[in-house]
Amino acid sequence: MEQSLGDWEYLIANINLQLAFMDTIPRTRLSLARQAIADLATDWALVVSAANAAPLSIVNEVDTLAPVSAGFQYVETNQNRYEGRFTFEVPRGGIVLECHQECACDPNSCINSVAQKPRNIPMEIFKTTERSWGVRSPVPISKGAVLGVVTGPRRTAERLKDSTYLWDLDTVQRGYEQFTMDCTQKGNWTRFLNHSCNPNLDTYAVSWDPLLKPTQHQIAVVARVDIDADVELTLDYHPQTVLSDKDAMTRPCLCGSNDCRGWF
């Protein structure tokens, strides 16, 4: 059956219209995904601002995935904090005892109030190409700078399920109930710190609340070396692990450092 030129023009126009509509579908999904990340960054920025902490941003130039699933609650700090710099003079396994609200000293000038200060170094949660999400800072960081504390609910071991985002509060192991910080659904930027066998960060137990048990201390994150801007911030998830302890290493390590153990 012969069709007129007008019929063909109508068919071609209709096809082009359908193709144009279909082309908007992935673009719309992409826009929605990016908007979801932007909304998440805005919500977290409000929490950060309320804690008087330095800015926090989310950057994903790899895909359209958000750093957390629905239901995660961002908590910048467990309590208020004051300024200072860590001196690395506390032996491993000890707890740094800071001044608290019952002390007679001025909290604004007290040299024994370090980890209590609102975070003053801006952080960026960014999507890596090989290791999911990571953390970096847009400014240089000096050795000894206290970057913040790990946040999240403290739970006893028997109440915990398997999770990647657990921090054992095991500095004191005798005579006290053991607790773990569970950052699965509630935490801050420290939740996204990746592992390295040659890390530029370290953690120390610190407490400024005399009413808490020794096993309910805070975990302070400290720069162990001078760190350039935009360098990924990393921790050794298992600093006591040695190459001969194969049973303790269950996941392949992708840190890429010269001292990489291959597993952690």
Over the stretch 19-44, which tens digit does the pLDDT of each residue have?
454 454 455 666 777 888 888 999 99
How, if at all, do strands 179-182 and 154-156 pair?
antiparallel
Q: 215 lies in a domain?
A: yes
Domain of 88 in residue numbering reads as: 5-248
Encode pLDDT of 203-231 as tens digits: 888 877 765 665 667 888 999 999 999 99
pLDDT of residue 260: 85
Helix (H) or strand (E) segment spanning residue 38: helix 5-50
Mean pLDDT of the chain: 77
Q: 262 lies in a domain?
A: no
How many helices (H) and strands (E) in the chain?
A: 1, 14
- Rounded Cα distance between 113 and 81, Å, is 7
Confidence of residue 45 (pLDDT cuts 50, 70, 90): very high
Q: 259 lies in a domain?
A: no
4 three-state secondary structure? coil
Q: 261 lies in a domain?
A: no
Q: 9 lies in a domain?
A: yes
Q: 255 lies in a domain?
A: no
Strand partners, 173: none
Task: Specify whether the CB–CB gap between 237 and 264 falls below 8 A.
Answer: yes
Opening angle at CA 22, ends 36 and 30, nearest 5:
15
Q: 183 lies in a domain?
A: yes
CATH code, domain with 77: 2.170.270.10
Q: What is the pTM of this model?
A: 0.75
Considering its fold, how many domains does the chain have in total? 1
Confidence of residue 83 (pLDDT cuts 50, 70, 90): very low
Encode pLDDT of 105-161 as tens digits: 776 777 777 777 788 999 999 999 888 899 999 999 999 899 999 888 888 766 666
Q: 94 lies in a domain?
A: yes
Q: What is the mean pLDDT of residues 240-254?
A: 63
